[in-house]
Structure 1
Amino acid sequence: MRLLLRSVVGKRELSQKGKLSIYQSIFVSILTYGKPGCPSGWIGFGSSCYFFSRESKSWDEARKFCRTREADLLAINSTDEKTFLVAFSNIPVWIGLTDKVQEGTWKWVDGSPLTLKFWEENQPDNGGGSIRYGEEDCAEIRETSGSWNDIKCETSMRWICEKEVKNKNTCSSI
């Protein structure tokens, strides 16, 4: 199944608009939606389940939403995971990356340090020092490129929650 997803995602990357066609979206959804071990409404990939919000909240409110569902804002641990997430998102969304604790030291919400980096060019820039932008201590993933941008945590946008599959033996990797 991993090969099938890569094939579909590869087509997505080659598409002129950078978005999956409706047929590709349905195909990928059939492969991933409702995996055993993931709650209803969540999408399984590898050993994680993902929830893609349909409403907008601040970074803190989005994190609270995830935590009440025994999840957290997502932490991107591989290029494959990033590619998968971008295939399902057509707008910028919150990810679980922040430098709130110490400016310039980006960490995932689980406390792990940032090792893979997909920052957009000249990012993070903490608003470029502009009063207009203020402190930019939270990260979003861009919809087409999958690159990251730092942005004010108070900004209202959609988000993605991530949690481990309950029974890893029942959720095959794609």
Structure 2
Amino acid sequence: MELEAIYENVERRDIQNTTGPQIQSHGQDEGKDLKRRSRCLVLITVGLGLICVLLLVFIILQNITITAERDLINSYKNTVEEFNQTINSLQDNYTDLMTEKHQLQINFNSLSQKKLELETRVKDLTAEKNQLQRNFNSLSQKKLELESKVTSLSDKLNMDASKRVCFFISNELKSWSDSRQYCRERGADLVIINTEEKQKFISSLVKERAWIGLSDTENEGNMTWVDNSTLKQGFWLRGEPNNQDGNEDCIELMPSHPALNNWNDLPCSEKRKGFCEK
């Protein structure tokens, strides 16, 4: 505002000088210089104003740029944080997946080992089954042979009709003397075995341990049958008779052992079924 007032005063003086009486030439030159100075001053003022405006615009633009850069940097920071969170999450997922993969690998190896063991077991069971089948076939053949021998023995035992023999076994477990009494009450007596053929035949009929008609109750060490005949041929288990504890005086037949040698001595008070012969 002050510059504009000075400018107006200068112009007003110029007008007054042109309309008033003419002064000396030296005053005219000073007026021209003053006018030129005023114009320069105006130009300088305008230039300074433009510079201020430009500075103001620059400052505003700089602030806008800084704000935009700050927002951009904040956006970049947020994006970087999100990326970092995503990377961390992916890293955690990767770690979990690797752990799960490792566990699955362990499970796979364990299952593979079990599969190999089962395959080996199947092979062993198949071989065992084949062996059992062969044993079964062999036993079936032996059974047929034994049945044939039993039939032959039965035929031999029954050749003489006048001497036909009947065998039966008691239903109750009794001592040797009670078992003999059981047989006598039914017109029989405990069985007498005096031949190898009869031993095999009786053994094939007996399914559990049973008394036979042999003892040394009358004379220790002198085995006699219930018909008072002396023992001529025995079919003893290995190590028998041993008269353990000094009171094993009666004889049983044990079918769980080989058919030919299955006699055992034991106390007469033991409970067994009696095998009777009539």
TM range, smaller chain: 0.5 to 0.7
1: CA distance, partners of 2:165 / 2:266: 26
1:137-160 CA distance string (max 9 Å, x none): 000011132421001100001121
Q: How many residues align?
A: 127
Aligned counterparts, 1:1-174, within 5 A = 15=139, 47-127=164-244, 130=245, 135-143=247-255, 144-146=257-259, 147-163=262-278
1:86-109 CA distance string (max 9 Å, x none): 111121110000000111000001
Question: More helix by proportion, 1 or 2?
Answer: 2
Deviation at 1:61, TM superposition (A): 0.4
1: CA distance, partners of 2:267 / 2:139: 31
Residue number in structure 1 paired with 2:128: none
2: CA distance, partners of 1:97 / 1:157: 14
Identity of aligned residues (%): 37
Unaligned stretches of 5+ residues in structure 2: 1-137
2: CA distance, partners of 1:58 / 1:93: 10
1: CA distance, partners of 2:205 / 2:274: 12
2: CA distance, partners of 1:108 / 1:79: 16
TM-score for both structures, normalised by structure 2: 0.41
1:52-81 CA distance string (max 9 Å, x none): 223211101000011111111001021111
**Letter of the 1:145 counterpart:** P
2: CA distance, partners of 1:77 / 1:94: 15
Unaligned stretches of 5+ residues in structure 1: 1-13, 37-43, 164-174
Secondary structure of the 1:140 match is strand
1:12-65 CA distance string (max 9 Å, x none): xx739x9x69xx98xx79xx7xxx9xxxxxxx9x73110122321110100001
Structure of higher RCO (CA pairs closer than 8 Å, 6+ residues apart): 1
Secondary structure of the 1:118 match is coil
2: CA distance, partners of 1:159 / 1:49: 14
Runs of 4+ in 1 over 3 A off after TM superposition: none
Question: More strand by proportion, 1 or 2?
Answer: 1
**Letter of the 1:108 counterpart:** W
Secondary structure of the 1:84 match is helix
TM-score for both structures, normalised by structure 1: 0.64
1: CA distance, partners of 2:251 / 2:176: 9
Q: CA RMSD in A?
A: 2.9
2: CA distance, partners of 1:67 / 1:92: 20
CA contact (8 A) 2:183 2:274 kept: no
